Amino acid sequence: MKPGRETLSGWGRHPRVACAVYRPDRQGQLTSVLRDASGLSQIARGLGRSYGDASTNQDQGVVDMTALSRFIAFDESTGILTAEAGVSYADLVDVLLPRGWFAAVTPGTKFVTLGGAIAADVHGKNHHRDGSFNSCVRSFELLTPAGELLTCSRELNAEVFWATLGGMGLTGFIQTATIQLRKVQSAFVDVTTTRVGNLDAMLEHFTKTDEDLTYSVAWIDCLAKGDRLGRGVVLQGEHAPGTCGPAPSKRSKSVPFDFPGFALNPLSVRAFNGVYYASHGSGQAKEDVNTYFYPLDAVHHWNRIYGRRGFVQYQPVFPVADADKGVRALIQKLVDARRSSFLAVLKQMGGHEGGPLGFPMKGLTLAVDLPRAPGIENFLNELDRLVLDHGGRVYLAKDGSMSPESFRRMYPRLDEFLQVKARVDPHDLLSSDQSRRLKIT
């Protein structure tokens, strides 16, 4: 199979690198990609929503999995789906929601493939209750670089199963996946919105209410200082009763060109955050799943608002003991550095099992968007130190800048992962720009 030469980047649009891109459209072709790779390393790529360099591989191979997007079987009585790894959450919403089934764990965009969801072990607004994506993965088929097709589950090849969940594609090509969906009664979510004045009140609100609610997430005004630091809006939800039909979707808009670099500045971001806070009173509403779970998907190419130089999303999790101190320190640092975040999201994570490179831990996770302004690399290194000082770790699906030393300290089970990788990929044929930067070999 012949590759085409293309320039690729992650969703943060930096760095942009030339890669040899393979586009298999049959499962069997993955074997020939491996055979014809002639010494080049490969990494699988889905819809390219990881923010940094996890799905790029400069001057080497990238295997675009999006044409492997066939449904294989769906049992309407149990909600168990088997599909090729390139099937996306958008496909699940289109095909299965009208029949009363919804993904049991979904990230904040539906432009993520099942393979990508496994590779990043994605989490959603229900992590505090249900854990990350692995909780609904029953099994998957993994093609290893040796050409062996392994069926992996909690029982079969369990070590490979766990290493692959969160393993950023470095153990093999995920060919098909079998997942459990959640039965829902309608395409709507009953949303309770609560405006909260500062971080202490926010955490108290989480503690009081999260246990009872399936979905819970807060938007934080990262520019508010002093005793208003951490003020924001909590959006909690439950699947609404009713009858199922197709999910209403607004006509999607698109950002047609790169915004100039000055469009997002401290003033405009402050204005946005202020208006967002002021316009969200406390109350109840019914929202369709697209609006509640995938608000940004309605604007295609929204990453262009950061202009050509791109942006960074930074998402650490802080362990529960010190979580509020970590979050407070991080927000304070953003305020002090005058690094404005357009969108900042805070949520509680539960203590569920994960793989050796699993991200979640019981505590609080905060995700912030930062424009790629001068000095960003140093600033991110400082943030990494802050996260380490509070015992936290950074999500690999968002990472594009961590040092191998920080990574090793944040992910103490790395050696366990490397042992599995050495077994399934002894010649190190799978790598990405991220894995080389972090020295995951």
Does 80 bind another protein (CB under 8 A)? Our answer is no
Structure tokens, 278: 């002021």
Using CA atoms, how far apart are residues 221 and 242, in angstroms rounded to an integer? 34
Query: Residue 13: helix, strand or coil by DSSP?
Result: coil
Does position 4 bind another protein by CB under 8 A? yes
Q: By CB under 8 A, is residue 3 in contact with another protein?
A: yes
16, 26, 35, 138: residue in contact with another protein (rule CB under 8 A):
26
Q: Rounded to an integer, what distance in angstroms lies between the CA atom of residue 11 and that of residue 395?
A: 15
Could you give the CA distance from residue 234 to residue 148 in angstroms, rounded to a whole number?
A: 47
How far CA 341 is from CA of 41, 123, 140, 300, in Å, comes to: 36, 21, 37, 20
Q: What string marks each residue from 92 to 111 as x (binds another protein by CB under 8 A) or -?
A: ---x----------------
283 binds another protein (CB under 8 A): no
Provide the minimum distance between the beta carbon of 153 and another protein in the complex, in angstroms, as a whole number: 21
Position 2 contacts another protein (CB under 8 A): yes
* Residue 70 sits in the site that holds another protein (CB under 8 A): yes
Question: According to the binding rule CB under 8 A, does residue 1 interact with another protein?
Answer: yes
Closer residue to another protein in complex, CB, 3/52:
3
Q: Total number of residues binding another protein (CB under 8 A)?
A: 20
Nearer Cβ to another protein (84/399): 84
Question: Of the listed pieces 16-24, 47-55, 250-258, 320-328, which binds another protein according to CB under 8 A?
Answer: 16-24
Residue 23, interface with another protein (CB under 8 A)? yes
Q: Which of residues 39, 73, 226, 279 is near another protein by CB under 8 A?
A: 73
Contact criterion met (CB below 8 Å) for 378 and 290: no
Assess contact for 388 and 409: CB atoms under 8 A.
yes
Amino acid at position 128, single letter: H
- Nearer to another protein by C-beta: 90 or 396? 90
Task: Tell me the C-alpha distance between 26 and 394, whole Å.
Answer: 35
> Shortest Cβ distance from residue 23 to another protein (Å)?
6
Distance CA 406, CA 187 (A): 42
Reading phi first (left if > 0) and then psi (alpha if -120 to 50, else beta), residue 242 is in left
Structure-block tokens of residue 243: 């009858």
Residues at the interface with another protein (CB under 8 A): 1-6, 21-23, 25-27, 67, 70-74, 91, 95
